[in-house]
Amino acid sequence: MSGELTADLSRELKRAALEAGAPADFEPQLERPRDPRHGDYATNAALILAGQLGQPPRQVAERIAAVLDRTAAGIADLSVAGPGFINFRLGDAAYWRKLRQIFAADRGYGRGDAPTGRRVNVEFVSANPTGPLHVAHGRGAAIGDVVASLLEWLGDEVVREFYVNDAGRQIDLLAASVEARWRQLAGADVEVPEGGYMGGYVRELAEEIEADLGREKLAGLDEAERRRLFGDFAMGRLRAEQERDLEEFRVHMDVFREESGLYARGEVAEALAQLGAAGLTYSHDGATWLDTIRFGDDKDRVLVKSDGSYTYFLPDVAYHADKHARDFDVAIDVWGADHHGHVPRMRAALQGLGLPDAFLEVLIIQLVTVLRGGEEVRMSKRAGQFVTLRELFEETGVDVARYFFLMRRAEVPMSFDLDLALDTSEANPVYKVQYAHARMCSVFEKAGVQPERIDASEAELTELTRESERDLAKSLLRFPDVVRAAAHARAPYQVCAYLEEVAGRVNAWYHEGNLEPALRVIADGPARPGRLALARAVQITLRNGLELLGVSAPPRMARGPDDERLPLREGMKVR
């Protein structure tokens, strides 16, 4: 672990380890002890070096400790514990010196220092253009968007992409479903075809196309032409609706890549030919199969059915080959829970095409259950079988919907509690964080200072002697490490957990002034400049963290805890 706070310690620890006999390429690691009483950081460097040096680990640890420059490392105290762990406690000066760097970085705080040169494709949502986006799509949209943002913060060049399945049987079923509803409008006794789309939006599409073109014109078309027109019209309307919903959910896609384009450019046929040339396909019962067992799949997979039509698997393979051909170094796919079994076969196919195994990463997003009053909200009036994303974020607000989707591990099913989502107190996790940010903005307003001009010398910061202030500073300085860890783990929930932790420390520190006026942030005295500087560091960190999540950082809120009144935030729902 090496971040803003531990850079000096890491550098000095490596120097001391080299002096104690470590090889030139040795990189000692720092970790946080589970028990904070052991110190701020610890290293097992001596245990790792003991075998190489032929010495007892505790002896190596004592040697490192003896030659380590405590001043250069910013250490107030160290100890050798157990078989050879070295525990460190940093001095206050290390925290105050690094805290000032937050002011200098401002909106860059938490971001990487330079571009990595790596191009990453993050493909997510990719809903079939056959219906509205539902809440599970919303969870994938929020997580995919923030995974992309995390990688951008590290310096990757990221492209957000939506794969449009605009070819195949589902589009034929959509056209047939709309036509059936259109015929029902005239009183015909027809049923939606088996496997078709039943939601009320299908009838809306039929009504809309009749209003646009007129029944007489539609009736005059031959069946095939009318069916094609229904399909194109419905798909166009639904795609536009999906894009509009995503934009309002603060998800902007850089690229929409159509499956039909893969066919038009010959990429699907080319992928099939490449797999055949590699000796990975064979014929059986009139179908063409891909030998995926040799790559660890549980069974071989059909690429071309006996009637000559392609399975959905083949264009998916061609699509991923297309990503590689567009010079992406990594392709991250965010898939729904029902695609879990698709992962090994896709990896097998891409290996067969010669792509590196590390090229494809897959995040599986588990299902969402929407609850109200402890009971599942089962369906939307419009969609029929699911709650739409738009219905959800129009009720809760985009901030709340995004944050709730992000604050749980993607691989775990989640319950979206509408009662908690509509609670405007700090019991609601996103409001807890936003209130903490708004309190700091309120401090600047009451103090009559512009936050951008707030600064403090190290001498002024040393006036911050309370444990709550030290703990808060320590938490703020962890932000860059949290961003890096969340990016590497593809885990936005880690940022949410961190922001809630910081908000808890902020609120505890702020409310100390309620009990003792001299401890208020803007109370006159030698600690006032340092407290204002700490408040500014809080405001920067919370704002950057919220914006990283695509959640607003409002300067004012409607109501705080204990009936504390704050100005109403625009657009905020209050029950």
Q: In the predicted model, what is the mean pLDDT of residues 121-134?
A: 96
Report the half-sphere exposure of 110 (CA within 13 A, side-chain side).
Answer: 31
Query: What mean pLDDT comes out for the span 54-59?
Result: 95
N-term to C-term CA, the chain: 45
- Residue reference for tokens 């990189």: 27
Long-range contacts of 310-315 (CB under 8 A, 24+ apart): 310/268, 312/165, 312/168, 313/342, 313/345, 313/349, 314/268, 314/271, 314/272, 315/167, 315/259, 315/262, 315/263, 315/268
Whole-model pTM: value is 0.90
* Topology adopted by domain 429-563: Isoleucyl-tRNA Synthetase; Domain 1 (1.10.730)
Residue appearing with tokens 């704050």: 566
Tokens 């599970």 correspond to: 136
Nearest 5°: CA angle at 88, between 86 and 90? 165
Within 10 Å of residue 514's Cβ, how many Cβ atoms? 11
Per-residue confidence (pLDDT) for residue 561, from 0 to 100:
44
Candidate CATH numbers 3.40.50.1370, 1.20.210.10, 3.30.1360.70, 3.40.50.620; the one for domain 7-90: 3.30.1360.70
Mean pLDDT of 27-36: 89
371 touches 415 (CB < 8 A): yes
Rounded Cα–Cα distance for residues 30 and 8 (Å): 12
Cβ 167 vs Cβ 504: under 8 Å: no
Cα 342 to Cα 339, 357, 537: the distances in Å are 5, 15, 45
Give the count of beta carbons closer than 10 Å to the beta carbon of residue 281.
Answer: 19
- Residues with Cβ within 8 Å of 278's Cβ and at least 6 positions away in sequence, in order, are 352, 353, 354
Report pLDDT digits (tens) over 245-280.
999 999 999 999 999 999 999 999 999 999 999 999
Whether the per-residue pLDDT at 536 is higher than 90: the answer is yes
Rounded Cα gap, residues 314 and 281, in angstroms = 12
Q: Confirm if 549 and 415 have CB atoms less than 8 A apart.
A: no
> Given pLDDT bands bounded at 50, 70 and 90, which one contains residue 298?
confident
pLDDT in tens, 366-423: 999 999 999 999 766 666 678 999 999 999 999 999 999 999 999 999 999 999 999 9
For residues 44 and 554, give the distance between their C-alpha atoms in angstroms, rounded to a whole number: 43
Q: Where in the chain are the domains? A: 7-90, 429-563
CA angle (25, 28, 29) in 5-degree steps: 135
Structure tokens at 85: 């762990």
What does the pLDDT average to over 200-228? 93
Query: Is 70 exceeded by the pLDDT of residue 568?
Result: no
pLDDT reading at 95 higher than 80: yes
Confidence of residue 574 (pLDDT cuts 50, 70, 90): very low
Exposure string of 102-116, with b = 16+ CB inside 10 Å and e = fewer, is bbeeeeebbbbeeee
Q: What is the DSSP string of 510-554?
A: HHHHHH-GGGSTT-SSTTHHHHHHHHHHHHHHHHHHHHHTT----
Residues 6+ apart with CB under 8 A from 60: 20, 21, 46, 49, 50, 53, 84
Tell which residue, 239, 556, 248, 568, has the closest CA to residue 401. Answer: 248
Name the region of 82 (left: φ>0; alpha: ψ -120 to 50; beta: rest). left
